[in-house]
A and B are shown apart, each in its own frame.
Chain A
Amino acid sequence: MSKKIDYVWLYACLLPTFAFVGVFLLYPAIEAFRMSFLDWSMTNYLHPRYAGLDNYAELLKNAEFRNSFLILLAFMLWNIVVLQGASIMGAYLINSLGQSRLGGFFKVAFTVPMVLPGMVVTMFWLFFYEPNNGMLNYVLGHLGLESWQKVWLGESQATAMGSIMMKGFPWVSGLGFLIYLAGFQNIDESLREAARMDGASAGKIFWRIDLRLILPQIRLTTVLVLIGGTQQFSDQLIMTKGGPGYSTMVPGLYMFNHAFTYGKLGTGSAIGVILFLLKMGFTLLNARLMRERG
């Protein structure tokens, strides 16, 4: 395809993309690094001071900030193990129904809630945990379990984190579900058939064949959680504001609070940079693993 092309036109077609990238991604990214070295807050908004690595040093000294990474880790592990487990199970069960009408029905039915606006889902769960009229305490009350009733989002770290983690139960519906379902459907049925002939139980077939063959999908979703999960904080912002105390404070929310509630733009940017480095680490790690596997 070596037509004589006027390169100018090619670059002109690329211009919009790079203009957008330059203005709204590259420039802010550079700014983020620059701002992270400034002592810049609402009290000296007009006269930011160069502060070197002070923002970083302050943050690393800060126990609440360090702790927020442990909290984030707990959330991410939960997402990787339990949420992925649930979607794998859902996808596996539907796939085992084969091409039947029932299988098709379940597939669609589990996909529908994916298009519910995220805020609607969050609000439902907020109501679910609401202490006075909420659904959970209502049900507990009617089962005669009044003593189990709690202020779920406010009582302790255990109840607040547990409540956020349980949000979205049974977690089948989601991107992971779609990815796994596609994975299971791509597995050659004759593999399973052969194993069955050898007298393998359904459980064994699942462990030996299905699960092994969707390993690439499991890795993909794990990477997605690791990479995407570092910056999630809207559930915490809406449901607990990071509380009670700092018990559900994740780094993203810590950044949001610093920049937009405490008015400390420099510190906020420094947290952004730290999270960027973290995400970069995960990405490079992933790329390296990928290369090692060939």
Chain B
Amino acid sequence: MRKSIATALTLAVSASLLSACGGDNEPSGASGTAAGSPANSAPVSFTVMHNQGEYSWPAYQKIVDGFNAQSGNKAALKYIPAQESENWLQTQFIAASEPEVISGTSKLADAYKNGWIVDILPYLDEVSPYTNKPWKESFLPGLIESAIDRSDENNPHLYGIPNQVVTVNLYYNKDIFDKIGVASPPATITEFLDVAKKAKDAGYVPFSIQNSTDWNIGWFAGDLFGYLWQSRLSELDLNQSGKVELNEWAIAVMEDKVNEISPELKEYLRFIGDLVPYLNEGFNSASWEFEGIFNEGKSAMALNGSWYPNQHQEGGFAVNYGIAPIPYLDKGYSEYGGDSRRKYKIGSTPSFAITRNAQQNKADAASLEFLQYMTAPEGGAKVLADDLNLIPVVDGVEVPAILQPIMDSFGTEDKLDFLANEFTAEQKDNWFKKQQEYMAGHITADEFLNEYGKDLKKYASEAIKNHPEWNADSYLK
């Protein structure tokens, strides 16, 4: 459940990674046979793979049942645990045994390049049988646009359909805050460290995280880097898109604009170093039990996704919590800081995709229809919002009240993501593991950055080599 959404979120945090990985010109897309009107053909059987935990199964079953009843098809769910779904999908793709509809991977762009999934973009203009309007008109303004990969300007792609808006927020224990005399949640990093110190002095765990995966520090980092790199935007953003895409990061690395001596990275590590004393013991091997620490009222603050309120309700936890935006990097803490919290555009990442097997098994039309149903205001979107408290991706579905404050934090700015530490899966894992060692005090910040810089160009050129459509050479003269 959370894990899976967390995976999705890690992606959300690095949204432009996806949007920057281009597909090549391999024709792997659907053959135009997709999308018919419901119930006018023989029932099609196909499988929908998801990695959402047990508590969400009834809701997903409800969606599948509703779809089967309305379309006359026979969709069935298949569950793969979130911590395995990435590896699982890769092996299934190689084996050509993947289900017709899949979710739970960050590597959709690669999968598309390998001909394993279908480009959905051409079907957005078609009329959805569940709304009788073009499908794309269902979505919240700008949302589907954020999920489209435009790194190859002439060949945009959409690898999958988002089914929820995921955000990360600061959750804080109101009772602890009362006891330590903090009236309102910390809005800035300065305030955050101040509150953390008070909580520590009072004997609480100030901030509980899990660092056996990069899901917590990675979320924090995603927000911090948005501020840290902001002043470099015009220099790095070659295509003037307002964001720095993966190809632009690769070029920046090759031109030595980003490297191990970048002050932005030093500043980032300074904050992580300041944060360490306030973490739960054993954070490096902690998994979701960090949430247990918060649920049991032992920790004052934690980062978590927008799914947490639902977890809290379902689990009947006693903790009296509040939600606030992640504290932003302020001028008082860092010269790179801002004066106020930036308000980012609402956005999401592709999640559910249609695979090559859907085409092979002649289930692509039915699979597409399933995605349309999942995002139909009267269909799946409503179930996801009502039963799972997810923020809907479409108009016409009421946002769960508890999440309204999160909705209000959206604005019109583009988020700047730091991607020069995830050119390849190996580099990403390496960064994470070295960060673990840094946080455990085994290596210094400089050693960490030297380590990072050592293979940086290698990884960047690997990415450039694998993406000829970037035309990186033309920039690198």
Chain A positions near chain B (C-beta within 8 angstroms): 41-46, 64, 131-132, 150-151, 153-157, 240-241, 243-246, 257-258, 260-264
In the bound complex, how far is the Cα of B430 from the Cα of A9, in angstroms? 57
Partner of A246, one of B91, B114, B433: B433
Nearest CB of chain A from residue B454's CB, rounded to whole Å? 9
Given A155-B440, A243-B433, A244-B437, check contact A42 B107 (CB 8 Å).
Answer: yes
A43 and B113 within 8 A (CB): yes
B289 and A260 within 8 A (CB): no
B90 and A245 within 8 A (CB): no
Partner of B426, one of A44, A46, A155, A258: A258
A244 and B284 within 8 A (CB): yes
In the bound complex, how far is the Cα of B26 from the Cα of A163, in angstroms? 50
Q: Determine whether B56 belongs to the interface, using a CB cutoff of 8 Å to chain A.
A: no
B429 and A154 within 8 A (CB): no
In the bound complex, how far is the Cα of B292 from the Cα of A86, in angstroms? 40
B:427-442 near A, CB below 8 Å: 429-430, 433-434, 436-437, 440, 442
B429 and A43 within 8 A (CB): no
A260 and B440 within 8 A (CB): no
Residues of A within 8 A of B115 (CB): 46
Residues of B within 8 A of A258 (CB): 426
In the bound complex, how far is the Cα of B281 from the Cα of A240, in angstroms? 17
Nearest CB of chain B from residue A56's CB, rounded to whole Å? 15
A156 and B442 within 8 A (CB): yes
In the bound complex, how far is the Cα of B425 from the Cα of A228, in angstroms? 30
Residues of B within 8 A of A45 (CB): 94, 110, 113-114
**Given contact pairs A154-B286, A244-B440, A257-B429, a sample of 6 additional A-B residue pairs in the complex whose CB atoms are under 8 Å apart:** A43-B113, A43-B466, A45-B110, A240-B285, A245-B433, A260-B87
Residues of B within 8 A of A244 (CB): 284-285, 433, 436-437, 440
Nearest CB of chain A from residue B116's CB, rounded to whole Å? 8
Nearest CB of chain B from residue A247's CB, rounded to whole Å? 8
Specify the main secondary structure of chain B where it touches its partner. Answer: helix
Chain B positions near chain A (C-beta within 8 angstroms): 26, 86-87, 90-91, 94, 107, 110, 113-115, 212, 281-282, 284-286, 289, 292, 424-426, 429-430, 433-434, 436-437, 440, 442, 466-467
Residues of A within 8 A of B86 (CB): 261
Nearest CB of chain B from residue A58's CB, rounded to whole Å? 8
Nearest CB of chain A from residue B352's CB, rounded to whole Å? 20
Nearest CB of chain B from residue A11's CB, rounded to whole Å? 34
A46 and B285 within 8 A (CB): no
What are 12 A-B pairs with beta-carbon distances under 8 A?
A43-B466, A44-B113, A45-B114, A46-B115, A64-B430, A131-B281, A132-B289, A154-B212, A156-B440, A157-B442, A244-B437, A261-B425
A155 and B424 within 8 A (CB): no
Residues of B within 8 A of A132 (CB): 289, 292
Nearest CB of chain B from residue A123's CB, rounded to whole Å? 15
Residues of B within 8 A of A263 (CB): 90, 107, 110, 425
The total of interchain contacts (Cβ-Cβ below 8 angstroms) comes to 85
B285 and A260 within 8 A (CB): no
Nearest CB of chain A from residue B353's CB, rounded to whole Å? 15
Residues of A within 8 A of B440 (CB): 155-156, 244-245
Residues of B within 8 A of A131 (CB): 281-282, 285-286
Partner of B110, one of A43, A153, A156, A240: A43
In the bound complex, how far is the Cα of B112 from the Cα of A46, in angstroms? 11
B90 and A42 within 8 A (CB): yes
Given A151-B281, A263-B425, check contact A46 B114 (CB 8 Å).
Answer: yes
In the bound complex, how far is the Cα of B115 from the Cα of A46, in angstroms? 8
Partner of B285, one of A44, A154, A261: A154
A245 and B434 within 8 A (CB): yes
Residues of A within 8 A of B114 (CB): 42, 45-46
B429 and A261 within 8 A (CB): yes
Partner of A245, one of B289, B424, B437: B437
Given A42-B107, A258-B426, check contact A245 B436 (CB 8 Å).
Answer: yes
In the bound complex, how far is the Cα of B429 from the Cα of A246, in angstroms? 10
In the bound complex, how far is the Cα of B441 from the Cα of A167, in angstroms? 26
Residues of B within 8 A of A151 (CB): 281-282, 284-286
Q: Lowest 10 CB-CB distances: which A-B pairs, in order? A: A154-B285, A151-B282, A245-B437, A43-B466, A45-B114, A262-B425, A262-B426, A154-B284, A245-B433, A131-B282
Residues of B within 8 A of A154 (CB): 212, 282, 284-286
A155 and B90 within 8 A (CB): no
- Which residue from chain A places its CB closest to the CB of B113 in the assembled complex? A43
Residues of B within 8 A of A46 (CB): 26, 113-115
In the bound complex, how far is the Cα of B426 from the Cα of A140, in angstroms? 38
Residues of A within 8 A of B436 (CB): 243-245
- Which residue from chain B places its CB closest to the CB of A58 in the assembled complex? B458
In the bound complex, how far is the Cα of B94 from the Cα of A64, in angstroms? 28
- Which residue from chain A places its CB closest to the CB of B440 in the assembled complex? A244
In the bound complex, how far is the Cα of B279 from the Cα of A154, in angstroms? 14
A262 and B110 within 8 A (CB): no
Residues of A within 8 A of B110 (CB): 42-43, 45, 263
A260 and B429 within 8 A (CB): no
Partner of B442, one of A150, A245, A260: A245
